[in-house]
Structures are given as C-alpha cells and as structure tokens.
Structure 1
C-alpha cells in the first residue's frame, strides 16, 4: 500500500469514524429493541446486534471510506477478515474491563465504564482502524480513487 498524505489519511479517519458511528447506532438500537420488544436474552441480543453493527461498518467502509480500492480478495472473504478484526477489537475492550475490574480491583460502575467504554473503546478503535486498513481494504487503489 502506498503512503497516504496527511489530507488523505484524515479523510480516511473521518470516513472510518462515520462508518463506525453508523455501526454503533445500529448495534445499540438493535440491541435495545431485541432486549425489550424483541424479547431476546442479553447474549442473543448482543450477538445479533454485534453482527448487524459489523455489517453496517463493513458496508460503510467498503462503499464509502475504501470504495476506491480494488479488493485483494473476494467480498465474502473480505467480510470474514473484517469480522475477525472487529472481534479482536471486542476482545480488547473486554480485556481492559477484565484487567481493571478483576486484576486491579477497580470494581465500581464508574471504573467499569472508564475501562470498558473509555480506554477499551479507544484501544479497540485504534486496533480496528489499523486492522481494517492493513488487512481488510489493502487492495490497490483504482485510478482516480482512494
């Protein structure tokens, strides 16, 4: 992959953030609906909403942020790698929460939010951005594209 200019990288980060925001909204909205009117338990609801969020993020990145890149592999395989990168990000968030809560003994609700949704989310987002651009959308740029 060729080096990106600061302007190109900032537009890539913005596109990634917009796709991620849409994915977060889809994940949260579906989870709340499945847990409430949908009648699902917490694990089933989260599994389905996570899958939906991954799909929204993939589509946002494939059709938006990285639309100018020719896929190096087929779309189904590309989605599989994208899903794996997102699972790795989720594990980072869980790891931060687990270390903070169970190893460091920071067991208040506030500490859990800071470690899981704050620090964990920041680290997971950095991992997802890196993994998405290096492993998922690593195809070559099309003429006139990103």
Structure 2
C-alpha cells in the first residue's frame, strides 16, 4: 500500500489510456501544426534576414513580405496535411479566414518588433536596434504569441471539425426523436 487514498491518479491504470483517447487527436493535430509551422518559420526567418540584411529593406517591410510568403506555404500544409480529415468548406472561405487570422498573427509579430525597435529602441538604441534584437522580438516573442493565436483560430474557425452538431432549434427536445 502506498498510502494514497483509493481513486487517486496513481491507482487508476486506465488514466493514461483515457487521456490518450481523449486528447490523442489534439496531440496529433498539434504535432502536424508544429511541423508545418516549423517549415514556414524557417522560410519566414531566412527570407526576413535576406531582405532586411542582404537587400537593405526596412525590418517591418521585410517581416511583412516574409510572413505573407510563409503563410501561403503554411495554408497549403495545414489544409492538405494537418487538418485534411476535417470538413472542407468553400476554398475561398478557408483561404480568406486563414489569411485574416494570419494577418492578426502578423500584427502580433510586427507589433512585438515595432515595440522593440521603435519603443524600447528609442530608449536603448544600442540594445534594441540591432539585428539580434529584431530577430528575438519578431521570431521568438512575436512568433510564439502569434502561433498560440493561430492554432486556436485555425482549429476553431478555418478548418472546422466535421460532424460538429448544429445548435438545436428552440423548443426541440433531442431525446424526443422528433
């Protein structure tokens, strides 16, 4: 006897199995989403640094262009791999919503970059107006926050789950068989 009261998680052998059954699909979706996002991140990172450093483009413009291109690749990967099992709606609807939510995610990343470069950089230019600071603000902070938002919004609004029950009509009793 371990001293644990009966029914504690340590004495329930089916707890892990229950959790896997309940959240396994979410873990699989999150893994695929992370893979697609990781590839898009690499494209975004490389293109941003090429445009900002190699071509001398202003950092905010470079970030905007790199994110739009990476988002297009992410849409294709998520539509045809991450959430391929989900109900398909009109492609134009999915694409428009995907890019709308990517626009919000872009706003989060660009906002983090702008706060770092122009807000904090006005106070400490030698620290916050550097390529390293731009990359940290944009790719670590901005992309991290934007990724959380994107996963939630894509899953909730863009790639909807097949068979999601409709809201019953007022006065309808689901158990009545009518």
TM-score bin (small chain): 0.7 to 0.9
1:80 maps to 2:96: yes
Higher relative CO (CA 8 A, sep ≥ 6), structure 1 or 2?
1
Q: Do the aligned residues in 1 keep the contact of 2:94 with 2:158 (CA within 8 Å)?
A: yes
Give the counterpart of 2:30 among 13, 38, 63. 13
Unaligned runs of 5+ in 1: 142-146
Q: Do the aligned residues in 2 keep the contact of 1:15 with 1:64 (CA within 8 Å)?
A: yes
Structure 1 equivalent of residue 84 of structure 2:
67
Shift of residue 55, structure 1, vs aligned partner: 1.6
After superposition, the Cα gap between the structure-2 partners of 1:44 and 1:99, relative to the gap in structure 1 and judged at 3 Å, is: closer
How many equivalent pairs are there?
A: 137
1:120 maps to 2:106: no
Shift of residue 40, structure 1, vs aligned partner: 9.4
TM-score normalised to the size of structure 1?
0.72
Unaligned runs of 5+ in 2: 1-20, 164-178
Q: Do the aligned residues in 2 keep the contact of 1:106 with 1:112 (CA within 8 Å)?
A: no
Q: CA RMSD in A?
A: 3.4
Q: Do the aligned residues in 2 keep the contact of 1:34 with 1:45 (CA within 8 Å)?
A: yes
Q: What is the distance in 2 between the residues matched to 1:33 and 1:10?
A: 34
Structure 2 equivalent of residue 25 of structure 1:
42
Q: Do the aligned residues in 1 keep the contact of 2:87 with 2:161 (CA within 8 Å)?
A: yes
Shift of residue 30, structure 1, vs aligned partner: 4.9
Query: 1:69 aligns to what SS in structure 2?
Result: coil
Q: What is the distance in 1 between the residues matched to 2:145 and 2:37?
A: 14
Structure 1 equivalent of residue 157 of structure 2:
135
Shift of residue 23, structure 1, vs aligned partner: 1.6
CA deviation profile, 1:70-102 (whole Å, cap 9, x unmatched): 12x311220111011111111112222333451
After superposition, the Cα gap between the structure-2 partners of 1:46 and 1:64, relative to the gap in structure 1 and judged at 3 Å, is: same
- Deviating more after overlay: 107-116 vs 4-13: 107-116
Q: Do the aligned residues in 2 keep the contact of 1:89 with 1:124 (CA within 8 Å)?
A: yes
Q: Do the aligned residues in 2 keep the contact of 1:97 with 1:120 (CA within 8 Å)?
A: yes
Q: Do the aligned residues in 1 keep the contact of 2:63 with 2:110 (CA within 8 Å)?
A: no
